[in-house]
């Protein structure tokens, strides 16, 4: 009788944990900025390119995993250089509607992978993506690592990854020298 009660308790705990994990991963909302912020200014320090800690002031979406809405009309990408960047400057590019929509879908369709994993070298290169929509003002925000484990996130939000779905697409879009 005790073993049956113990099994029932363990089963209830397992159901609760699985519900919490699924709830946390599916509880998503976007963060926005009212206008495009000025990008940070990297500088050379002892032979490496250093970008100061930088994050745009965002509103909304203070809990759950990072997300963006579907059907953006465009996006602006702030490509922050890595430690070994020769040019040591931020490059700003405009993404097409198709590129923006594909990346937005990748963010929504990606999950956080739990467990142990081995990541390649990380040079701290990052891209901040500001998604634009026809039916509202402001921009929805996502940041993504371009090297290492390639997580995507936003300020105060849970990340997706490692190696989230947009990693390869961003690497293909990355301007030379960043």
**What are the boundaries of each domain within the chain?**
2-173
pTM of the model: 0.81
Q: How does pLDDT run across 55-111, given as a tens digit for each residue?
A: 898 887 667 888 899 999 999 999 999 999 988 999 999 999 999 999 999 999 998
- Distance between CA atoms of 15 and 8, rounded to whole angstroms? 11
Alpha carbon distance 103, 95 (integer Å): 10
């Amino acid at each position: 009788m005790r073993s049956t009660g113990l099994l029932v308790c363990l089963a209830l705990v397992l159901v609760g944990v699985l519900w919490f994990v699924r709830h946390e991963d599916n509880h998503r909302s976007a963060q926005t900025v009212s206008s495009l912020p000025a990008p940070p200014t990297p500088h050379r320090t002892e032979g490496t390119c250093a970008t100061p800690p930088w994050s745009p002031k965002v509103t909304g979406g203070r809990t759950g995993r990072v997300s963006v809405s579907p059907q953006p009309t465009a996006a602006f990408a702030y490509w922050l250089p890595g430690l070994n960047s020769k040019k040591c400057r931020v490059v700003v590019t405009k993404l097409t509607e198709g590129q923006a929509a594909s990346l937005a879908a990748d963010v929504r369709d990606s999950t956080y992978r739990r467990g142990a994993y081995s990541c390649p070298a990380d040079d701290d290169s990052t891209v901040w993506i500001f998604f634009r929509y026809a039916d509202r003002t402001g921009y929805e925000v996502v940041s993504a690592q371009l090297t290492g484990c390639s997580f995507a996130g936003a300020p105060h939000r849970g990340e997706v990854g490692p190696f989230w779905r947009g990693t390869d697409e961003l690497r293909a879009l990355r301007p030379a020298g960043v």
